[in-house]
């Protein structure tokens, strides 16, 4: 059964029960009022008969009705209660037992309420007819309100049917973003963004992999073909194998970087997030960089630190943030020919800025705007080993942590890379506001 039919039937059933209760109450009250009113008239008749009997010691025969008789049990009830009202079939009976003085007698008045019964019958017919007519109106009204309530869902369904793997950039639009349908639509759009990111990551991986794998694979195949084309000396074989190994290592690094780069698009699990002291993370990165680059000159400086060290806590994926910092610092060391690299940490207005500067070869102005594109390498770094994924990966990691990556460089003078990240205070404030 569809939601529309369930809502309609449920609405009809609830209102029908309420309607039946109200009609039943009206009917019972009307019957009791009619009976009470008729008994009052009978009592007036009985009092008149009692008064006449007491005053004249006789009754007019027109006041007597001998078509029925009282049973012994009924007479006992009358004597017991003195005033006793009861009903015998369609006849209403009221009685008064007088035991004052020497005269003891029972006055009984009875009648059939033909007018009242006819009114009750008409009322019952009107109520039954009203119930069924009202039931039809209630059902139609419930159908109307169900259609009206579910119309936003129909609009969302029509929009969702238009989605395919070729237009994942579309988003579902609703008229009211604050009701339940709007919240559901917003949640669906967020899920769609993740799906789009996964699709784009897949397309990017396939496109980039097919392009970047070709160069080292071609070099490996060419080198092996040369070695197998004719007999060569052992030294030539060693040289050829070493070149093939070098290209294989490059190919492995490309694959590793591509996998990490792709994972940053789809890996957004809350369970991987943790609270991180940014100053402690920088020291861990420092130790790792020195361990991997023995001759590196890497200096750390902290300025404008807050009095409360908890303000240096950020929330995120520690492994990814460490990877981003290592990429930037090792680039600075590599392209500065082992000159001193400085890392400055600053705190301001609940944001932290990590400034990494070097005095290396710099980036040409024409290449600076493309420097964060995957596999793009500046025109002056052909003599340096690299895959061109490091800064692109760093930018994605920083953006995933709601931060900003800023790169300033002058060719021949050096490069400054700023990484600005919000602290835990900012993240918690955004959560409370939403």
Q: Give the pLDDT of residue 158.
A: 80
In order of their start, the domains of the chain are 3-136 (no CATH), 165-268 (1.10.287.130), 270-434 (3.30.565.10)
Q: pLDDT grade, residue 68 (50/70/90)?
A: low
pLDDT digits (tens, 9 = 90+) for 271-281: 568 899 999 99
Question: Stretch 255-269: mean pLDDT, rounded?
Answer: 65
Distance, in Å, from the CA atom of 361 to the CA atom of 4, rounded to the nearest integer, reads: 69
Q: Give the pLDDT of residue 344.
A: 93
Q: Give the pLDDT of residue 248.
A: 84
pLDDT greater than 60 at residue 176: yes
pLDDT digits (tens, 9 = 90+) for 100-140: 666 677 777 878 888 888 888 898 899 899 888 988 888 88
Query: Does residue 171 or residue 416 have the better pLDDT?
Result: 416
Scan for tokens 């040289």, then name that residue.
Answer: 239
Tell me what percent of the residues of the chain surpass a pLDDT of 90. Answer: 15
Question: Stretch 57-68: mean pLDDT, rounded?
Answer: 50
Instruction: Count, in order, helices (H) and strands (E) of the chain.
Output: 11, 10
pLDDT greater than 80 at residue 55: no
Cα separation values, 119 from 90, 123, 208, 370, 427, Å: 14, 6, 90, 93, 74
pLDDT digits (tens, 9 = 90+) for 337-358: 878 999 999 998 889 999 999 9
Question: Stretch 393-404: mean pLDDT, rounded?
Answer: 89
pLDDT greater than 80 at residue 260: no
Q: pLDDT grade, residue 60 (50/70/90)?
A: very low
What is the overall mean pLDDT for the chain? 81
Q: pLDDT grade, residue 147 (50/70/90)?
A: confident
Q: pLDDT grade, residue 291 (50/70/90)?
A: confident
pLDDT greater than 90 at residue 193: no
Query: Does residue 52 or residue 85 have the better pLDDT?
Result: 85
Distance, in Å, from the CA atom of 177 to the CA atom of 321, rounded to the nearest integer, reads: 34
Q: Which of 19, 6, 5, 2 lies closest to 137 in space, CA to CA?
A: 19
For residue 347, the cross-strand partners are 352
Question: Do 17 and 134 meet the contact criterion of CB atoms below 8 Å apart?
Answer: no
Collapse the DSSP code of 294 into the 3-class scheme (helix H, G, I; strand E, B; otherwise coil) and give the result. coil
Query: Does residue 348 or residue 255 have the better pLDDT?
Result: 348
Tell me what percent of the residues of the chain surpass a pLDDT of 70. Answer: 87
Query: In 65-211, at which residue ranges do the beta strands (DSSP E only) sit?
Result: 83-88, 91-98, 105-112
Query: Does residue 337 or residue 418 have the better pLDDT?
Result: 418
Cα separation values, 351 from 38, 70, 142, 243, 354, Å: 88, 100, 54, 47, 10
- Residue 345 has a CB neighbour count (10 Å cut-off) of 19
Distance, in Å, from the CA atom of 378 to the CA atom of 366, rounded to the nearest integer, reads: 9
Q: Give the pLDDT of residue 57.
A: 58
Q: Give the pLDDT of residue 328.
A: 92
Q: Give the pLDDT of residue 62.
A: 44
pLDDT greater than 60 at residue 3: yes
Question: Stretch 413-423: mean pLDDT, rounded?
Answer: 93
Q: pLDDT grade, residue 61 (50/70/90)?
A: very low
Q: For the whole model, what pTM was predicted?
A: 0.51
Q: Give the pLDDT of residue 354.
A: 93
pLDDT greater than 60 at residue 15: yes
* Beta-sheet pairing, 313-316 with 105-112: unpaired
Tell me the residue length of the chain.
434
Q: pLDDT grade, residue 46 (50/70/90)?
A: confident
Token pair belonging to 271: 């369970």
Q: Give the pLDDT of residue 56.
A: 61
Q: Give the pLDDT of residue 265.
A: 57
């Amino acid at each position: 059964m569809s939601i529309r039919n369930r809502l309609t039937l449920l609405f009809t059933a609830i209102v029908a029960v309420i309607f039946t209760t109200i009609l039943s109450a009206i009917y019972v009250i009307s019957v009791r009022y009619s009976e009470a009113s008729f008994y009052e008239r009978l009592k007036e008749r009985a009092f008149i008969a009692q008064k006449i009997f007491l005053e004249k010691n006789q009754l007019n025969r027109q006041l007597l009705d001998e078509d029925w008789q009282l049973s012994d049990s009924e007479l006992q009830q009358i004597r017991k209660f003195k005033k006793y009202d009861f009903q015998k079939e369609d006849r209403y009976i009221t009685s008064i037992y007088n035991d004052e003085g020497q005269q003891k007698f029972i006055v009984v008045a009875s009648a059939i309420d033909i007018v009242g019964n006819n009114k009750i019958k008409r009322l019952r017919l009107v109520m039954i007819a009203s119930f069924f007519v009202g039931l039809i109106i209630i059902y139609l009204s419930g159908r109307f309100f169900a259609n009206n309530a579910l119309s936003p869902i129909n609009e969302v369904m029509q929009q969702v049917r238009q989605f395919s793997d070729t237009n994942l950039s579309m988003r579902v639009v609703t008229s009211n973003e604050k009701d339940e349908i709007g919240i559901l639509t917003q949640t669906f759009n967020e899920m769609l963004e993740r799906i789009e990111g996964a699709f784009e990551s897949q397309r990017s991986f396939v496109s980039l992999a097919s392009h970047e794998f070709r160069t080292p694979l071609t070099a490996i195949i060419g080198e092996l073909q040369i070695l197998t084309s004719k007999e060569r000396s052992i030294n030539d074989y060693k040289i050829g194998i070493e070149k093939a190994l070098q290209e294989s290592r490059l190919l492995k690094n490309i694959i590793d970087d591509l996998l990490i780069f792709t994972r940053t698009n789809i890996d957004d699990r809350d369970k991987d997030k943790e609270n991180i002291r940014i100053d402690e993370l920088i020291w861990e990165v420092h130790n790792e960089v020195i361990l991997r680059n023995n001759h590196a000159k890497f200096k750390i400086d902290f300025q404008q630190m807050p009095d409360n060290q908890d303000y240096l806590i950020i929330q995120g994926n520690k492994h990814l943030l460490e990877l981003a910092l290592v990429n930037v610092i090792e680039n600075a060391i590599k392209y500065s020919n082992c000159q001193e690299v400085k890392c400055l940490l600053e705190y301001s207005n609940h944001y932290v800025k990590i400034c990494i500067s070097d005095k290396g070869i710099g980036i040409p102005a024409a290449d600076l705007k493309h420097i964060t594109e995957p596999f793009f390498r500046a025109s002056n770094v052909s003599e340096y080993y690299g895959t061109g994924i490091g800064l692109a990966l760093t930018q994605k990691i920083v953006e995933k942590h709601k931060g900003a990556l800023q790169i300033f460089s002058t060719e021949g003078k050096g490069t400054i890379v700023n990484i600005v990240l919000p602290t835990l205070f900012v993240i918690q404030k955004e959560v409370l506001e939403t």
